């Protein structure tokens, strides 16, 4: 059973189709961690060009999926409710396996540092038991609701 469904996710973050890469949130510990799910289907627009006859989810979109999960975690904090989280930096990104249609991405995010409206999250994406991507993401939360 999900903690947040797609409609509830859209109430938190501004992303919408075709750039919303989150189906539901499995687990959420405010100010600590989140696990969310992205079901990768052949109907994704990016598979039309990446690559015809050999569909592969672009690595940058895996990072975007992780960043969206991080945004949900950050914006569920009472300190940042109603605000917008922006990606400020990507560090130590590693891609370990190709993601294809039919895969279920489990997005894991944990806050490692936070100071005022900035922080760092440690992230990784799994398909089954295999880690497909990892990265440290820096976030900045807007001072005003947008």
Q: In this predicted model, what pLDDT tens digit does every residue of 8-45 receive, in sequence order?
A: 999 999 999 999 999 999 999 999 999 999 999 999 99
Residue of 133, 140, 118 whose CA lies nearest to 21: 133
Render pLDDT for 100-129 as a digit per residue (tens, 0 to 9): 999 999 999 999 999 999 999 999 999 999
pLDDT of residue 56: 97
For residue 146, being part of any structural domain is answered with: no
**Structural domain that includes position 105:** 6-141
* Domain count of the fold of the chain: 1
Identify the helix (H) or strand (E) that includes residue 71. Answer: helix 59-75
pLDDT over 90, % of the chain:
90
pLDDT of residue 57: 98
For residue 132, being part of any structural domain is answered with: yes
Residue of 45, 126, 139, 18 whose CA lies nearest to 83: 139
* Active-site residue, from 50, 100, 110, 131: 50
Q: What is the CATH number of the domain that holds 64?
A: 3.10.129.10
The rounded mean pLDDT for the chain is: 95
- Annotated active-site residue 108? The verdict is no
- pLDDT mean over 79-94: 94
For residue 76, being part of any structural domain is answered with: yes
């Amino acid at each position: 059973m999900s903690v947040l469904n797609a409609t509830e996710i859209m109430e938190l973050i501004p992303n919408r189709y075709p750039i919303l890469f989150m189906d539901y949130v499995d687990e959420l510990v405010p100010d600590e961690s989140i696990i969310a799910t992205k079901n990768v289907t052949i109907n994704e627009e990016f598979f039309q060009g990446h690559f015809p006859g050999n569909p592969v989810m672009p690595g940058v979109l895996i990072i975007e999926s992780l960043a969206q999960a991080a945004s949900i975690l950050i914006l569920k904090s009472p300190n940042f409710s109603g605000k917008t989280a922006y990606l400020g930096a990507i560090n130590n990104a590693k891609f370990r396996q190709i993601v294809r249609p039919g895969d279920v991405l489990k997005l894991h995010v944990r806050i490692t540092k936070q100071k005022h409206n900035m922080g760092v999250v440690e992230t990784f994406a799994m398909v089954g038991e295999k880690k497909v991507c990892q990265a440290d993401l820096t976030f900045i939360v807007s001072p005003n609701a947008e």
